[in-house]
Structure formats: C-alpha cells, structure tokens
Structure 1
Amino acid sequence: MAKSNQKKRTVKVEALGQAHIQATFNNIIISLTNNQGQVISWSSAGKMGFRGSKKNTPYAAQTAAEDCASRAYEAGLRKVKVYVKGPGAGRESAIRTLHNSGIVVAEIVDITPMPHNGCRPPKRRRV
C-alpha cells in the first residue's frame, strides 16, 4: 500500500487564546486553544505518567500544565482566558502554573455544570 500524501493539519496560533481545564475526581485535562477553539496543545495527568489516585493531585496538575504551557508558548501563545470545569483537586495549581510559565492569565471563568435537580448523586461514602 502506497503512503498517502496527507498534509498535517496546522493550527493558526494568535497571541490571545483560551485554556480549558477539566478537573474531575479521577484526572485533570488541560487544553490550550486559539479563539476559534482549535487545540494548540493539550496534556493530562495520565499522559504525564501518573496512575491511579496520583492523577488527581495538585502536583500532577502542575506537571501537566507545565508541559502544555511550554509547547503552547513555543507556538506563540502569550495570553489566555481560563475556563475551569469540574470539582477536582488541581484546579488552582494548574492556573498558577500557567501564570508562572510566562502566559498571562487575563480572565478566569468557572463553567462547572450544575444540575437543576437532575440525576441522583452517588451515595455518601462511609469510611
């Protein structure tokens, strides 16, 4: 079978973009996009080598944010609006790491979905 001549998709990077941080109870996923929503770079705690309960720690979020921010900074991203979703532990440390890596945080918006009495939540843990 011959090699197909598919051109690699390139993303237009402007100085201003968006950072989407999804912090669940099990993992944290960070995506840096341009204003059209096309992903420039992404990273997660699982991608950085953390497994199990270590994925949802502030340190795992910090390393994932460092990796993601360094690649986006090289591509030309300089300023972001941060959109945070979820109740996870590494939300603040991920935002702090983005700021410390040289990317200016212009705005922080919490877009955590809140139910208007939807599904029944899981039972309380008895430890």
Structure 2
Amino acid sequence: MIKNNIKSVILVIIFTSNNILYTLTNIEGEVLFWTSAGLKRTRGTKKITLTTIVSSIKIILAYLNNVKIKYIHLKFKGFDKNKKIVLKYLKQSTLNILSITNNSMLPHNGCKKTKRRCI
C-alpha cells in the first residue's frame, strides 16, 4: 500500500556472495518494493556483473520516479567491490541522498569454539 504523502524512503542493498538484493522500505520499515539481480533470469556469477547492477538500479529509479519520491536513505550490508559502482549510479540520478550507512559485519575472531568430545 503506497501512500501519496511519503517524502523519503530507505534503500537497503544487501551484497551476498552470488546475488545483490535491493529493498525499498518506508521510514517505519514496511517494504514498498524489492528486486534482485536474479529477477532478470541471470544465473550464477553473472548476477554480480556491472550490467545486472545497472539494470536493477534502473528498475528501482523507475519505480521511485513513478511514485514521485525524491529523498532516499541508503543502507549497505555485506562485502562487495561493487558498492562504489552502486553509489556512483545513485548519485548520478535525480534523487537526493540524505544518509549513507554501512552495516558490514566483520568478525574479530568471535567466541571460543567448544572442545570436541573424544570417545
């Protein structure tokens, strides 16, 4: 359900090892629109190439122009070399980027593993 008084949305971009997921939510966290590189029927490592990234960003920008949203908050999750490419294409658009957050989880060796039982 899209309300006409939405002024800004949050774009969450999740980089996994073989896919990139894009989710548009409102400020409360309700999903408005989502897409991924696999929706274009690309398989395997082709999902993280430059052409699929650009085409999925164009789909998102077309949706945002359709519902007339101008302001966006960006959230990145995961590790990938394509974060700068995504950011470059979003900056070239007519959107106003209000904030950029990077939620990449980096383990600092974590908890101690339990000792294996010898029988």
**TM-score (normalizing by structure 2):** 0.80
Q: Which moved more, 1:40-49 or 1:98-107?
A: 98-107
Percent of matched pairs sharing the same residue: 27
Task: Give the distance between the partners of 2:41 and 2:83, measured in 1 at CA.
Answer: 19
Structure 2 unmatched runs, 5+: 112-119
* Structure having the larger proportion of residues in helix: 2
CA RMSD of aligned residues (A): 1.9
Q: Does 1:24 align with 2:13?
A: no
Contact 1:83–1:111 (8 Å) recurs in 2: yes
Q: Which moved more, 1:69-78 or 1:88-97?
A: 88-97
**TM-score (normalizing by structure 1):** 0.75
Give aligned pairs, total. 110
Structure 1 unmatched runs, 5+: 1-9, 120-127
Moved over 6 A (4+): none
Paired position in structure 2 for 1:52:
44
2:103 maps to which of 95, 106, 111: 111
1:92 maps to which of 72, 84, 108: 84
Deviation at 1:59, TM superposition (A): 2.4
Paired position in structure 2 for 1:78:
70
Deviation at 1:68, TM superposition (A): 1.6
Q: Secondary structure at the match of 2:40?
A: coil
Q: Which moved more, 1:87-96 or 1:16-25?
A: 87-96
